[in-house]
Amino acid sequence: MRAIPSALSAPLASPATARGAKTRAALVKAARVLFEKNGYLDVNVGAIARHARVAHGTFYTYFNSKEEIFSEAVQALIADFQRIADDEPPASGEVSARIERSNRGYIKAYQANARMMAVLEQVATFNPRLAEVRREARRYWVDRGTAAIRRWQWRGLVDKRIDPMYAASALGSMIDKSAYIWIVLGEPYDLERGVEQLTLLYCNALGVPYHRDS
């Protein structure tokens, strides 16, 4: 997992002992549970410390602020997200099959992390520093899509007039926003039908044939 460059205050040093590492991990876990349950605004440092069963002052041994521990919880979210998304069975060599695999993995990962994703979307609308955390959380997928489109252009499969970064950003936003509307806002959808249609739209945008992987 690529760590998120801190848009917040300088992070404190990593714990020097196993006990310290365990306490820090407990704080991050407690923070994520509370953020998912109550949202960002209704969680405070005291509540995180209580849930982790440590003294209030202990929190500041490991983190400077609620923003900082939220950023750390997002890094854990990204790790979960990437692990689930990449756990899909290998696709065939067809471009459309690879796109479909990626889309299915992304939607499944969003389903598994929906509560934290909803909070992340919330804070990005009012906190500029945490908005940068949100952008970094998505940058992995944009970078991966950009690299794939460049490879397909090199193979002569995608129009070279298409800017790989802009295409990956726009098409990735289509997948991401669809996941948000379906899973967080609760618009009815069927996973396989949704993946099929997103993949068809993605392929049509790039001008590559769509063949479902059997």
CATH classification of the domain holding 28: 1.10.10.60
3 state SS of 73? helix
Whether residues 36 and 105 fall in one domain: no
Judge if 154 and 101 occupy the same domain. Answer: yes
- Domain count across the chain: 2
Decide if 33 is inside a domain: yes
Q: Could you tell me which of 84, 100, 92 has the C-alpha nearest to residue 202?
A: 100
Judge if 119 and 174 occupy the same domain. yes
Q: Same domain for 150 and 188?
A: yes
Q: Do 28 and 116 sit in the same domain of this protein? A: no
Shared-domain flag, residues 99 and 176: yes
Spell 66-94 as b/e; 16+ CB within 10 A means b.
bbbbbbbbbbbbbebbbebbeebeebeeb
Residues 172 and 91 in one domain: yes
Residue at 9 is within a domain: no
Within the chain, which residues score under 50 in pLDDT?
Answer: 1-8
Residue 211 lies inside a defined structural domain of this protein: no
Residue 28 maps to a domain: yes
Instruction: Report yes or no on 189 lying in a domain.
Output: yes
**Is the same domain home to 107 and 168?**
yes
Q: What is the pLDDT of residue 134?
A: 87
Q: Which residues contact 102 (CB under 8 A, 6 or more apart)?
A: 85, 88, 144
Q: Which domain holds residue 183?
A: 72-206
136 and 83 within one domain: yes
Mark whether 134 and 178 lie in a shared domain. yes
pLDDT at site 6: 47
Q: Has residue 116 been placed in a domain?
A: yes
Write down the pTM of the prediction.
Answer: 0.86
Instruction: Provide the pLDDT for residue 90.
Output: 77
Q: Please give the Cα distance from 147 to 139 (Å, whole number).
A: 12
Among 26, 44, 63, residue at a domain's last position: 63
Q: What is the pLDDT of residue 5?
A: 45
